[in-house]
Each structure stands twice: as structure tokens, then as C-alpha cells.
Amino acid sequence: MTGMRRLVTILCITLSAAATGAQDGGRKAIAYVQAPEMSSGLCVEKDTASAIDCAVKQCIEGGGTIEDCQVNATCSPGGFSVDILMMADGGPHWHQFSCGWQARELALKAAELACSNAKDNGLIECTAVQLIDEDGTVVEPPFN
């Protein structure tokens, strides 16, 4: 993705979050940034722009480059979020991130749905690897 396209994407996300921010009653935003096969970043902050900035910094600190650390998902309010690991036959893997769910169970159902046709899509692995609450608390499997 070019630098200009990335800037426009971040701007659109930020503006849409700002429009709803006043209605959220101070709830936090979440951002997930990913540099495929290199690094990622996950932050919960007071607003979407701050969450994106924080997640990009984490991604870069983890070994990604500014060009490769791309916004994967943001939600404001963050709600419950789930990080889903997907691995294709042959080795490449990536994470799909789903956020903004009102309940923990709904976030886990989103992961289940995302993985429901994994074999048909050539995936050898598809599983929820993290569940995150609105305060940024991360829980790893098992999710009981």
C-alpha cells in the first residue's frame, strides 16, 4: 500500500471514530496493526488515533517497518476483540482481528464463524489465539 493510500485510510478511520466519539461516553478504542510474517501491535487507548499510533509503534519495535505495519482493524468503542491466527497450506500465516463485540461470547462466535470454512479456503490452521476486553486485558486459550 502506498504511503498516500495508508494516510487516507488512517484519516478515514480517525474521522469516523471522531464522529462517534462523543456518543461513546469515554469508552476506549482498540487498534490492531500487522506487518505480515514480521510483527504486530495491539493497543487500547482513549481514541482511535492514539490506539493506531501506539499499535504502529509496537509493530515497528517488534521488527516491522513503517511501510509494512498496516492497520488491520480498529473499533471505537473497542468492546471485546478476538485475534484469529490463520495459516495457509505451505506456511504463510496472518492474523484476522475482529473487534467491537458487546460480549465475550460474541467475539468468540466471530472467530468460530471466520474459521468455519477454513479447509475450503486452503487453511491448515485457523484458531482464536487471543481474546481482549475493552480495557486491553488479553486472555489466551483456553477461553473458559
Tens digit of pLDDT for each residue in 92-118?
Answer: 888 999 999 999 999 999 999 999 999
Domain span at residue 48? 3-139
Which DSSP state fits 129?
A: E
For residue 20, being part of any structural domain is answered with yes
For residue 144, being part of any structural domain is answered with no
Which grid cell is 132?
A: 481482549
For residue 57, being part of any structural domain is answered with yes
In the chain, what is the greatest distance between 2 CA atoms, to the nearest angstrom?
Answer: 46
Count of domains forming the chain = 1
Is beta strand 80-88 parallel, antiparallel or unpaired with respect to 93-101? antiparallel
Band (128; pLDDT cuts 50, 70, 90): very high
pLDDT exceeds 80 at position 134: yes
Q: pLDDT tens-digit profile of 9-32?
A: 443 444 444 444 445 578 999 999
Calpha distance 135→137 (Å, rounded): 6
pLDDT exceeds 80 at position 7: no
For residue 37, being part of any structural domain is answered with yes
For residue 73, being part of any structural domain is answered with yes
